[in-house]
Amino acid sequence: MALCIVAFLYVRLYLTDNASDVPEHIYDRYYVMITDDYKSSFWQSVYSGALNSAEENNTFVELLGSNLYNDYTPEELMEIAISSDVDGIMVSGDGSEELSALIDEAMDKGIPVVTMYSDNADSKRCSFVGVSGYNIGKEYGRQIVNIKKEKRTVSYNGANIEGYSEFAANVTVLMDSKMDPYAQNVIMSGIQDILTEEDKESETNIETVLVDNSNPFSVEESIRDVFMEDEIPNILVCLNELETTCAYQAVVDYNLVGSVSILGYYDSDKILNAINRNVVYSSIAVDTKELGRFCVEALDDYISFGNTSQYNAADITLINKGNVSEFMKKEDAADVP
C-alpha cells in the first residue's frame, strides 16, 4: 500500500511539473459537440471540420464525452454542458421530448444550441445544420433505377440489349431507430418520386425495416434477421455508416455478393474498399467538414448578431465504381503526415 501511495504521488507530481511547461492558450469562446457515437469516423470528421473552423476565430471545440471515463447519454452530456455554462452547444438531434427540453433549458440560460444532422424541430434551437433528406432519397431512387436497368440488360453478339431479361426489384430500406422519423420519411418520399418519374415500365416493391441502433451488436443482429427471411431483398438501402458496414459484412458472410446490391452511406475506408471490390454498389458521402464548419458559423453568428440562418445543408456526393478511386486517393493523401 505504501508503495502504491508513493507511486501515485510521484506520477501526480510528474504530471504537474510537465503540465507547467505547456504554454497556456486562452480562447475567446468554448463550444462543445455532443453526439450519440463520438467514436464513429463520421462524427470524428464532423468534429475535425468544426475544430478547424473554430480555431480560425480563437474558439475551442470539445467533443464532449471523448475525454470522460464513463459512457454518458447525449441527454446527460447536455446536462453537463449546461452546468458548465459553455458558450455554445452542437448536438445531434433525435426528435425526442427529453432532448428538446434540454435544448430549451440551454437556450433560456443564454447558451445557443445548434442541432446537427438530425433535428429537434419542436425545440428552441437557434439553427439546424444537416443534409437534404429529399435529395438523398432522390439519389437512392436513381441508383435503384440504374440497378434495374443493368439487371434487365443482356449481351447478345457483343451488343447490350435492354428489356430481354426480367428483374423483380425487391427493395428494403433500413430505417434508423435513433433518427428522426420525419427525416426518414422525407428520404422515402425522394425515392418514391424518382421511381414514379423515371421507372414507369416496371413496379418496385419497397419495404422498410426498423433497425435497432442502440449499439453495433443490435444493428448487426437486425440486419442479419433480414437475410434470414424467406424472401431476401435484392436491393438494400442503408441510411448510416454502421448499417452500411454491417450490411456488406452480412452479404459476404451469407455468400450473397452479386445477388444483393447495397446502397450505402458515407465514405469511410471500409466502405470505399467495398465499393472498389463490387460488394457495395454505391454510397452517398456527406461533406462532413462542411457540416462541422456550418455548425460553428451558426453559433458565431447567433452570439455576435443575435440571430442566424434557421437551416444550412451540407453537400452530398455519390460514390460508385466509376469514381471510387478518386476518393481512395484522397484518403491515402490525407493519411500521409
CATH homologous superfamily for the domain 27-131+288-315: Response regulator (3.40.50.2300)
pLDDT bracket for residue 71 (50, 70, 90) = confident
To the nearest whole number, what is the mean pLDDT of the chain? 87
**Quick one: pLDDT at residue 15?**
43
Q: What is the pLDDT of residues 126-184, one digit of tens each?
A: 999 999 999 999 999 999 999 998 887 654 445 555 554 556 789 999 998 877 788 88
More confident residue, 22 or 190: 190
pLDDT tops 70 at residue 201: no
Q: What is the pLDDT of residues 79-133, one digit of tens each?
A: 999 999 999 999 999 888 999 999 999 999 999 999 999 899 999 999 999 999 9
CATH homologous superfamily for the domain 133-285+319-335: Response regulator (3.40.50.2300)
Residue range(s) in the chain whose domain bears CATH number 3.40.50.2300: 27-131+288-315, 133-285+319-335
**Quick one: pLDDT at residue 331?**
65
Mean pLDDT of 59-74: 88
**Quick one: pLDDT at residue 159?**
52
The three-state DSSP-derived secondary structure of the chain is CHHHHHHHHHHHHHHHHHHHCCCCCCCCEEEEEECCCCCCHHHHHHHHHHHHHHHCCCEEEEECCCCCCCCCCHHHHHHHHHHCCCCEEEEECCCCHHHHHHHHHHHHCCCCEEEECCCCCCCCCCEEEECCHHHHHHHHHHHHHHHHHHHHEEEECCEEEECCCCCCEEEEEEEECCCCHHHHHHHHHHHHHHHHHHCCCCCEEEEEEEECCCCHHHHHHHHHHHCCCCCCCCEEEECCHHHHHHHHHHHHHCCCECCEEEEEECCCHHHHHHHHCCCCCEEEEECHHHHHHHHHHHHHHHHHHCCCCCEEECCEEEEECCCHHHHHHHHHHHHCC
pLDDT tops 60 at residue 18: no
Q: What is the pTM of this model?
A: 0.82
